[in-house]
Structure 1
């Protein structure tokens, strides 16, 4: 941007007969562009951030040189081009203000107090350009310098339009990024709430099995280890394969089979027509966990849990059915289900269906994911 400004400044000066100043402007522009190309050529392998191409020292040097050029322009254009004298005076004042800001920031930094923010400096530069550019157009029109007026008009208005559009897009991007980050933070918080009481219960069971049946305790530890590894590491991913999620569900069921001392009828009907389905991790476990927590836990006999999962035609149908004791509290809108509903809203908006039905002593939950 600095190089382009210097280049057009030189072209305008030379077109208006202010040759010496125009030549210096063009020379400084070519030097700065050459520096940038030279820097890029020798540092392209390092992939250095382009926003750091100009160091603070280089900006100070360029600002000083531009100020000197404006001062020379004042002396050269007066009295032949009074309009350019006014423009150069205006630019010189702006450069002095900008230099004062840099010096003040340096002073504040030395004192260890907060400096003038980058956004404030950007606003100062923008409004200086808008006001200064408008004043320059008025001066050139008053003194009928048509050549310079045409060149500046073709630079001034498109640049203002570009800066305004850029600012609007930047604000929209900032809002979307903030919204996305908020959703991600909320999703991570929700994921961290999945299954904590199950792991605590299993650890308590393991404590009892260590002395009673060490072989069974070892089997439980291995399965629990696999589940914890999946929950901690894979559970933080955005998506996992459906096969990984199914393996997690099967481990959960096997641990419950080993845990209880009563007969339980557990069926897992699985139909996956095509491989490659990707889903959010730890999604189905909440419905399965509810079936055990509110059904199997409270029944002395004839407890059952039937699970059906069908994946086909870009859809996944997951259904869990269990019986329960009607005398117990049958309402299940706890943290787990609220957690699940919120996660579905965040990750699968308008691409899911979650429903519950209760018939006498049978509870059924159905989740459908589509457009995967």
Structure 2
């Protein structure tokens, strides 16, 4: 039976190996006079520094590989954005024409306006490396208001936000995936008593996004959607070791917490 070692265990073993290698080096230097009299000591020292050099070279190689991977992923993302921009001006002009034809103060007119704003943000701001937290907040507000107009049923949607620095920079379109899932798998399928509670806070260079919703137990699925997979990949690329993403399912309550250390 083949023994399987988890990725976290592998990382711990690698760190332990590097630490022991450095400690061994210090011991050899400090007790040079004692060990220097032993037979084969010079050969051992040479072997030690060869191993140390290989370890350092391998670490540098991994860092370079990670940078190249990040660059390639960024280029792929930009290409996907370009492919999705099928003459966006056509859509905006069409939406503006529809907006002009509709009655003033109608729900349909509000939907068209918010949809236009969301599309513009997604296409033009979404391709940027960083956006302000305020712009991302406005985007989420538009989405929530648009969904509330769409659904003709009573629900409890609360969006609480407390931001100390609205100009703080963040990667665009991170929270929308979690928000879309809450509406899609929760409010959309529930006949009554549906709720979505969202909290967005920022302080001391850290952002936390918490979203909780209820759902139909029959809709439970163990499969992870493409949106969540892409979110995790983007977080690992842009916020390595600077984020945490947790999911909690308790009966028919689904809760997600995303925390980010801002750069």
Give the TM-score, by structure 2 length.
Answer: 0.65
1:322–1:363: 8 Å Cα contact kept in structure 2?
Answer: yes
Structure 2 vs 1, CA of residues 280 and 190 (structure 1 numbering), >3 Å: closer, same or farther? Answer: farther
- Alpha-carbon deviation of 1:242? 0.2
- Alpha-carbon deviation of 1:329? 2.7
Q: Could you say which residue in structure 1 is the equivalent of 2:51?
A: none
Structure 2 vs 1, CA of residues 191 and 367 (structure 1 numbering), >3 Å: closer, same or farther? Answer: farther
Structure 2 vs 1, CA of residues 349 and 221 (structure 1 numbering), >3 Å: closer, same or farther? Answer: same
2:127 pairs, out of 233, 236, 239, with 236
Asked whether 1:226 is paired with 2:226, we answer: no
Greater relative contact order (Cα < 8 A, sep 6+)? 2
Asked whether 1:179 is paired with 2:69, we answer: yes
Give the TM-score, by structure 1 length.
Answer: 0.46
Structure 2 vs 1, CA of residues 191 and 355 (structure 1 numbering), >3 Å: closer, same or farther? Answer: farther
2:169–2:262: 8 Å Cα contact kept in structure 1?
Answer: no
Structure 2 vs 1, CA of residues 345 and 236 (structure 1 numbering), >3 Å: closer, same or farther? Answer: same
Q: Larger radius of gyration, structure 1 or 2?
A: 1
Structure 2 vs 1, CA of residues 332 and 292 (structure 1 numbering), >3 Å: closer, same or farther? Answer: farther
Q: Could you say which residue in structure 2 is the equivalent of 1:329?
A: 220
Structure 2 vs 1, CA of residues 363 and 173 (structure 1 numbering), >3 Å: closer, same or farther? Answer: closer
2:156–2:196: 8 Å Cα contact kept in structure 1?
Answer: yes
- Partners of 1:193 and 1:285 in 2: how far apart? 20
Q: Could you say which residue in structure 1 is the equivalent of 2:251?
A: 360
Asked whether 1:320 is paired with 2:222, we answer: no
Gaps of 5+ in 2: 1-60, 85-97
Size of the aligned set, in residue pairs, is 189
RMSD of aligned alpha carbons: 3.1
Asked whether 1:188 is paired with 2:78, we answer: yes
Asked whether 1:261 is paired with 2:175, we answer: no
| More helix, by proportion | 1
Cα distance per residue 1:159-190 (max 9 Å; x no partner): xxxxxxxxxxxx99997774343121233367
Structure 2 vs 1, CA of residues 307 and 363 (structure 1 numbering), >3 Å: closer, same or farther? Answer: same
